[in-house]
A and B are shown apart, each in its own frame.
Chain A
Amino acid sequence: MTRGRLWKRSLVVALLSLLPVIASGCAVIGGSPQSVNRPAGDSMRKIWDLFVPIFWLSVLVFVLVTAILLFALWRFRRRPGEDRRPEQLHGNTRLEIAWTMVPAIILAIIAVPTLSLMFELDRDPGPDALTVRVIGHQWWWEFQYPEYNVVTANELHVVVDRPVRLEMDSEDVIHSFWIPRLAGKRDVIPGWNNVLSFTPEEVGTFPGQCAEFCGIQHANMKFQVIVQTQEEFDAWIRQQQQPAAEVPADPLAARGRELFLTPANACIGCHAVAGTDAKGQVGPNLTHVGSRGIIAGGVLENTPENLAQWLRNPQAVKPGNKMVLPRQLTDEEIEALVAYLMSLQ
């Protein structure tokens, strides 16, 4: 086999081996609950609509460059034993001007919609918007609804087709707030009061997570955005506004309440339950923890089994997290605490 044929054959093999990757890529992407190509909010929809034409322009540029490259390599290759010296061509000013202008024009085409959309995304959503304060903590999210006097963790409830205005601050280091299907990222910086606005356009649950490296459990700083109809949202708000302070009727849960409020057990040093002595501000507010779908910064679904697993050894579930128990809880204590926390609906 001559060298030229070897070269051609290996090139074909290489290209063919890449094709399935690319082809299947186009078929298999988009299936994640965080896939941006299925936007469910105005912000991400506009971003995706901006991306698609840029993508095709890019494909065009790449195909052009690669086609010229491969053709030149094939057409002007030196065959074995061939010893020629081509004309010593130093350049061509017209060509240079042409290929300076072409990228400039392509970039101008990209720049115009880029800049206009950027200013559009930054526009204030108006007085109708739902305002939520977002506080980043290592490694969980706090959501405050000032107009309803509701505080929750890791679950952001918003209303479909109603603009939402997130005012964001961090309790410790820099985080970044990202719900891929609804909007782009906005960093959550201590001492800054960043704002992110968008309008959810689809009812459903959309996962998001921290996008700026923020320490050991950055990967597990997740949350969910629950987009509801106005009626569902109002019902949720009413439920969250209920005090959860009464002693539960279930004796097991009552025992759990007692354990929770005993200062020596340290729970109330970090956690708050409205209407009780638990006023800690370090960890998530647990007033309605039983109503939430996820716990521990989105690592676990909120089931009695998972809650028990968490209370048994939070450091095993999420190594490095800030929840440190003063002592190992007994199985009986865990059972009681789970009953109490689950009763906080």
Chain B
Amino acid sequence: MVESALKLERARYERSALVEWLTTVDHKKIGILYFWSSLAFLLIGGLLALLIRTQLIVPDNTFLGPQTYNEVFTMHGTIMIFLVVMPLNAAFFNFFVPLMIGARDVAFPRLNAFSYWAFLFGSLLLLSSFLFGAAPDGGWFGYANLTSSRLYSPGLNIDFWVMGLQVLGVATLASALNFFVTIVNMRAPGMSLMRMPVFVWMTLVTAVLILLAFPSLTVGLVMIMFDRYFGTNFFNPAAGGDPVIWQHLFWIFGHPEVYILILPPMGMISEILPTFSRKPLFGYTFVVFAGIVIAFLSFGVWAHHMFAVGLGPVPNAVFATTTMLIAIPTGVKIFNWLGTLWGGAIEMKTALLFAASFIAMFTIGGISGVMHASVPVDYWQTDSYFVVAHFHYVLFGGSLLAIMAAIYYWFPKMFGRMLDERLGKLHFWLTLIGFNLTFFPMHFLGVDGMPRRVFTYSADMGWDLWNLVASIGAYLLGASTLLLFVNMLTTLRKPADAPADPWDGRTLEWAIPSPPPAHNFDVVPVVRGRDAFWIEKYGAEEVVGPAPERHGAESGHNPHNPHNAGSGDEAGHGSSAGHGQSAHIHLPPPSWFPLTTAAGLTLMGAGMVVHATESLASLGFPIVGLGIAMVVVSLLGWTFEPIHEESHA
């Protein structure tokens, strides 16, 4: 009865598969779109990394040439940060945050779809620069006045970078707002803040970081745009401007950005280690507050990227101290993860191996970060290969290893199929060895005085050996990443037979089928403690903290069983699905407007790039106008779109 009613409800929106994906507002589908898009970009970014390592494999190499090399390292960094790690995190935010807090969707489903399409189109705008032979070449950090003056960067390269990042920034801000509201407003009854899974906590903290940090990048990019297009002189020293202002604006964004990239993976680790140890996270409160403290401090450390700028010893001393302080909450997290494993019943699945290796690799990146905090040492290490080693231990050894763990952990829930464990373990070992072979020797190159961002080096510098080793490691790493794709693609051809709870999970997403139905929960679950699903499975002696205050919590709930539910407080859910009356679950209707709004926004950016061309400049502003018109019409349509009386939007 329930099923047929649901089908009836959904039949109204039956469309072709393509239209379904283009117009979807389902957080799970959007999560899957993010997932595959960013994995595709991972292949592009990885390929660029292999080009870098091929150019540097021997001294005086002429494989790429300076211009191409500069484009390649710029795009490698930009892609890996904005098009891979952030959207991979977003893929998991989208798919799992609503499930983990017992919600049926995010707070603003259409805004969510808009975020995805703006991300995709912004990425394509950025990547399209390759087609015009004008890929950005100013570094991912885009230091003014090299980037802000057409005198020093005459081509379209930087224009693509500025416009692409602006579109991506809008997507990111919209998404952060959405998840902030979702987590604050849409938690299931009983899911108090201190009962939220740590991944949800870290998503919330990341959303706040994005909301506070991205405006600074936006402002900086607008200033570069005005300097390049309209003759302003924000960063032009000849006219009284100062290029160092860009560095402040960029790193006020850029350092929190590091935590935007690493806090969600820390959340993933905090889910995966407990699951495979069959123990709750050790020191939950400390881990959560450590994350909050890291986020707070991250706004007070930006100038540690600028120790060599010459701000003077007093500012440097302040920023060195705040930077060292960040190591304390980070250390607390690491010890709590070790405490989680300690005394557990650890199951050596691929996800656990990746998560455990995260702890060791991230520790290396963390302690080399402390070295940089020592200002005099940083005078040497900054802009040398030592720093390249450091942040790859943080962003690959940290973020990406954790994301790999999350892929193995959550793939069954997303696609209903278990990834192959043998192939997974091979992938893990090759990744761990290839990663260390690539990046550990870069510490040595740093000691040997090799600067970053150089397209070549001469044979008499004595840097050949470690560059060769790093390049071999990079090829190994590339091959291991292909194994992940082989694993995923072969697994997707198998029947979808994954159980709802393959890992003996602790959080709510494991309470529902794999993959979850469109409406997620037949009945909104009532949460009786941390590790809500574990408590449902193994009993109430595990309950931590006070029982839920809301009504309907006294009976024993099994989220599997819709007939066993109380009439949970549905405030904020927009639908009232009590007592198994699933027919009343209203899903937000699909919509074209998020996609068209995002397309209009991207068109505005593309028009600005066209305006900077020599031959087609006159077309530029008309295209921008078209984009604006498209955004306005789409937003009007969005506003007046007939929505179901009980839709979430």
Contact = CB atoms under 8 A, between A and B. Distances in A.
Interface residues of B, number: 106
A319 B367 contact: no
A107 B377 contact: no
Contacts of B153: 215
A82 B448 contact: no
A207 to B, nearest CB: 8
Given A77-B346, A122-B313, A58 B367 contact: yes
Contacts of A220: 456
B145 A187 contact: no
A259 interface: no
Interface string A9-53: 010001001100110010011111111110000001011101100
A66 B465 CA distance: 28
A119 B447 contact: no
Interface stretch (B100-108, B272-280, B518-526, B582-590): B272-280
B462 A32 contact: yes
Interface string A170-206: 0011101010110111110111101100000000000
B471 to A, nearest CB: 14
B343 interface: yes
A48 B309 CA distance: 20
Contacts of A190: 145, 237-238, 243
Contact of A46 (B152, B367, B376, B466): B376
Given A65-B359, A76-B343, A86-B344, A172 B376 contact: no
A35 B143 CA distance: 27
A99 B359 contact: no
B376 A121 contact: yes
Q: How would you classify the secondary structure of chain B's contact residues: helix, strand, loop or mixed?
A: helix
Contacts of B370: 54, 58, 107, 110
A174 B243 contact: yes
Given A32-B449, A107-B328, A212 B145 contact: no
A57 B382 CA distance: 20
A73 to B, nearest CB: 6
Interface stretch (B65-73, B170-178, B596-604): B65-73
A12 B206 CA distance: 38
Interface stretch (A90-98, A145-153, A230-238, A270-278): A90-98
Nearest to A90: B280
Given A47-B377, A176-B383, A320-B67, A100 B448 contact: no
Contacts of A178: 383, 451
A255 interface: no
A327 interface: no
B324 A107 contact: yes
B391 interface: no
A187 to B, nearest CB: 5
A85 to B, nearest CB: 5
B140 to A, nearest CB: 10
Interface string A63-94: 00110110011001110001011111111100
Nearest to B379: A184
Interface string B431-472: 011001100110110011111111111001111011001000
A249 interface: no
A91 B530 CA distance: 13
B338 to A, nearest CB: 5
B538 interface: yes
B408 to A, nearest CB: 16
Nearest to B347: A78
Contacts of B317: 115, 118-119
Contacts of A92: 282-283, 339
Interface in B313-367: 313, 316-317, 320-321, 324-325, 327-328, 331-332, 334-336, 338-339, 341-348, 356, 359-360, 363-364, 367
A263 to B, nearest CB: 25
A66 B542 contact: no
Interface in A100-159: 100, 102-104, 107, 110-111, 114-115, 117-119, 121-122, 138
Contact of A65 (B67, B363, B437): B363
Max chain B C-beta neighbours (<10 A), residue from A21, A138, A210: A21
Interface in B360-399: 360, 363-364, 367-368, 370-371, 373-380, 382-384
A30 B463 CA distance: 10
Interface residues of A, number: 101
A172 B462 contact: no
A52 B266 CA distance: 30
Contact of A69 (B283, B313, B341): B341
Nearest to A59: B367
A103 B379 CA distance: 23
Contacts of B382: 185, 211
A218 B138 CA distance: 11
Contact of B310 (A65, A85, A189, A210): A189
Given A95-B335, A110-B373, A111-B321, 6 more contacts: A21-B436, A35-B449, A47-B379, A88-B280, A181-B449, A214-B146
Interface of B: 65-67, 70, 137-139, 143, 145-146, 151-153, 237-238, 242-244, 277-280, 282-286, 308-310, 312-313, 316-317, 320-321, 324-325, 327-328, 331-332, 334-336, 338-339, 341-348, 356, 359-360, 363-364, 367-368, 370-371, 373-380, 382-384, 425, 429, 432-433, 436-437, 440-441, 443-444, 447-457, 460-463, 465-466, 469, 538, 542, 544
Interface of A: 3-4, 7, 10, 14, 17-18, 21-22, 25, 28-37, 44, 46-48, 50-51, 54-55, 58, 61-62, 65-66, 68-69, 72-73, 76-78, 82, 84-92, 95-96, 99-100, 102-104, 107, 110-111, 114-115, 117-119, 121-122, 138, 172-174, 176, 178, 180-181, 183-187, 189-192, 194-195, 207, 209-220, 319-320
Top 4 A-B residue pairs of the complex, sorted by shortest distance between their CB atoms: A184-B379, A34-B449, A191-B237, A180-B449
16 contacts: A21-B440, A32-B448, A32-B462, A35-B447, A47-B377, A72-B338, A72-B346, A77-B346, A88-B279, A91-B339, A99-B331, A100-B328, A121-B376, A185-B308, A212-B383, A218-B455
